[in-house]
Amino acid sequence: MSYCRWSEGDVYMYEAERGIVCMCCSLEPSDNFGRVDVTLDTPQEALEHLEQHRDAGHVVPDCAFDQLRAEMMP
């Protein structure tokens, strides 16, 4: 499941077996092969990460925040 895709903004974030992945994260320095993926362990960490993207001026759809907040509710 994806929280947001390139077609919706500047961030591609999806749920994977190993956690929530911010693919080719523009907040991280590039390695020799290009942008690196960032893996976040919890919806709370992913929400905070998306807030960092917005603070950096990146377009992140509201629905990504809504989905993560819904996952944090008991």
27-67 pLDDT, tens per residue? Answer: 988 877 888 999 999 999 999 999 999 999 999 999 999 99
Q: Please give the DSSP secondary-structure letter assigned to residue 29.
A: P
1-30 pLDDT, tens per residue? Answer: 899 999 999 999 999 999 999 999 999 888
The conformational region for residue 52 under phi > 0 = left, psi -120 to 50 = alpha, else beta, is alpha
Rg of the Cα atoms in the chain? 12
